[in-house]
Amino acid sequence: MHIARRTWVRNRLLVIALAASVGAGGCALPELSPAGAGVRLVSADAVANCENLGKVTASVVAKAAGIPRHPDAVQDDLNVTARNSAANMGADTIVPASKVEDGKQAFNVYRCLRR
């Protein structure tokens, strides 16, 4: 019986380790691209003289292994994702257009600086 218990414990630990590694692998954090670094996040009153290029919706993981992530971490990742996407549109400025909901947030995209 002692060997059976040892096997059970070992198998359980393997399953836990596998689940942890799979869970961690799906949580890659977005990185700010060099182009995204040139995009600023401002309030709506700062874009009065800017060209509106449209809207982008950023989406990130709001829960890791079923546990909600800290709202500030989710917001930071949304901002990075939106800045990168806006840079791909030729923008230099974004403004939040909605509240965060289930790891998603809309942003208005602008070109404010003359090139």
| Nearest-angstrom CA–CA distance, 82 and 30 | 10
Give the DSSP letter of residue 17: H
* Segment 33-78, tens digit of pLDDT: 999 999 999 999 999 999 999 999 999 999 988 899 999 999 999 9
Would the pLDDT of 89 be above 80?
Answer: yes
User: What pLDDT shows up at residue 22?
Assistant: 44
Whole-number Å distance between alpha carbons of 106 and 108: 7
pLDDT of residue 37: 96
CATH level 2 (architecture), domain 32-111? 2-Layer Sandwich (3.30)
DSSP state of 1: -
Domain boundaries, the chain: 32-111
Full DSSP string of 45-64: GGGTTSEEEEEEEEE--SEE
- Amino acid identity, residue 70? H
For residue 10, give both structure tokens: 């070992």
* 10-41 pLDDT tens trace: 666 555 654 554 444 456 789 999 999 999 99
pTM: 0.75
